Amino acid sequence: MPKLTPMRGSILIVEDDESLNRLISKKLRGKGFRVDSVRSGEEAERLLKEKGYEVSLLDIKLLDMSGLDLLRRMAPLTNTKFIVITGYGDVNTAVEAMKAGASDFIQKPFSFEILEVSINKAIKERRLEEENRALKSFLFDRDHEIIFDTKSPKFRKTLEMVENVARSDINVLIRGETGTGKEIIARYIHRLSERREKPFIVVDCSAIPEHLFESELFGHERGAYTGATQRKLGLVELANGGTLFLDEIGEIPLTMQSKLLRFVETRSFRRIGGLREIKVDVRIVSATNRDLNDMVRRGEFRSDLLYRINTVELEIPPLRERKEDIPLLAEVFLRKFKKRIKPETVRLLMSYHWPGNIRELRNAIERASLMSKGEYVDEHLCFPHPSDRELCLENVFSGMPSLKELELLYIDFLYRKLGSVDRVAEALGCSRRTVFRKLKELRERNGELKGTSLTGGAPDVN
């Protein structure tokens, strides 16, 4: 088994066997984890309420109570991930533990490497959940405001179609240029549907390498190939009961389209290396900025797959075709920064072509808001044609921003361009935690936090 690099985190060990308790504590501290250990359920409950931990290793048999009883009581009250460890385990006990909220179940005797894999997986899941809650508040709620107000007859017609199709389970294809808000519309469909309380899972078809596509989509079994040291659930399986959003579906490799077609037709699949057919209940919403009919003619996209995914087709108009909404959108973006814009500048905004659509408008206004020291952002607005690049740079740098301001501005730009913390961290060659901290700092500078923490809390960045 390859050497593991643990994710430093906080762990509470709840184990009645004193020697095993000491042994596990010593090994985990040696790996860099922050560890507390107890032998009784009562003390564990107190520490879980007072401190909170990322992971708790919980024995079934404790000095004063059943570990399962403690798990049932505490799992709904904390974000801690519980890994149940016992020497008295059987299938029924494992099922009871998972139903009560355990993230994993390990039976004694076990190897420390297996325990370490389970801990790292639990910590990663917990931090991703927290980050998703925080970033959902940070980004999606802003975009959600844009949807409901429009003066554009064309966009109003699109929204009426969205509301009509949302309550059914038919497959939807959303077409529109880059930056028009296809994912926002997909999320809106999900929120209006009966599946709103279930997962909304995004598959970014343009970001998944071809050789990993099947594994990402359908998952794999342990030992399916070299490096598959444990079972992995695919995005399709994680979406069970909810909505599967296939973003930029035109980028799916031709070799994968037949397998996707079978899934779209049957809602069933097999994990790589698996023999069992798994059936899921998902609603499929797809999006593309490409002409799929033209791709079909060129042999780049399967016609039968296209027929399956576009039972209903929604077209999002580009911003240049709904210019009457530009003043409203500008006001929404400026509101977050408590800034203003002059009427004559709004008229300039409405005269521009906006090839990057709403995303370009938002970036321009938020960049100007960040650079502006006063109430108005007009002099820092920059939305040039390519030939005006030098003038644009002059406008950006005219306020002589500090290196810190430029750093935050660039990270903000990358996040909006790349769409995820992971991809920004990869582009910058830094950790995800650093990117998250910078985004939080940017939000605090713009007065959006008012001294409070992000919803759901941020990852440990200390």
The pLDDT assigned to 126 comes to 81
SS3 content of the chain, % helix, strand, coil (to 5): 50, 15, 35
* DSSP labels, 122-150: HHHHHHHHHHHHHHIIIIIHHHHHHHH--
pTM: 0.56
Residues in the chain predicted with pLDDT less than 70, given as ranges, are: 1-8, 88-91, 130-148, 383-401, 417, 419, 443-462
3-class state of residue 327 by DSSP = helix
The pLDDT assigned to 88 comes to 62
Please tell me the distance from the alpha carbon of residue 382 to that of residue 393, in angstroms, as a whole number.
8
The pLDDT assigned to 139 comes to 40
Among residues 200, 238, 202, which one has the least CA distance to residue 218? 238
The pLDDT assigned to 207 comes to 85
The two tokens of residue 5 are 């690099």
The pLDDT assigned to 157 comes to 92
Please tell me the distance from the alpha carbon of residue 225 to that of residue 213, in angstroms, as a whole number.
14
Do the Cβ atoms of 286 and 309 come closer than 8 Å? yes
The pLDDT assigned to 132 comes to 55
pLDDT tens per residue across span 376-393? 988 888 765 444 444 455
CA atoms in the 13 A half-sphere facing the CB of 144: 12
The two tokens of residue 82 are 């519980």
* DSSP labels, 167-233: TS---EEEE--TTS-HHHHHHHHHHHSTTTTS-EEEEETTTS-GGGHHHHHHEE-TTSSTT--S-EE
Please tell me the distance from the alpha carbon of residue 431 to that of residue 429, in angstroms, as a whole number.
7
The pLDDT assigned to 167 comes to 86
Domains of the chain by start residue, with CATH: 10-126 (3.40.50.2300), 153-316 (3.40.50.300), 320-445 (1.10.8.60)
The two tokens of residue 57 are 């290793």
How many residues are listed for the chain in this entry?
A: 462
The pLDDT assigned to 401 comes to 65
pLDDT tens per residue across span 214-227? 999 999 888 887 77
Please tell me the distance from the alpha carbon of residue 139 to that of residue 136, in angstroms, as a whole number.
6
The two tokens of residue 262 are 């079978």
- Element containing residue 85 per DSSP (H, E): strand 81-86
pLDDT tens per residue across span 224-249? 877 777 888 889 999 999 999 999 99
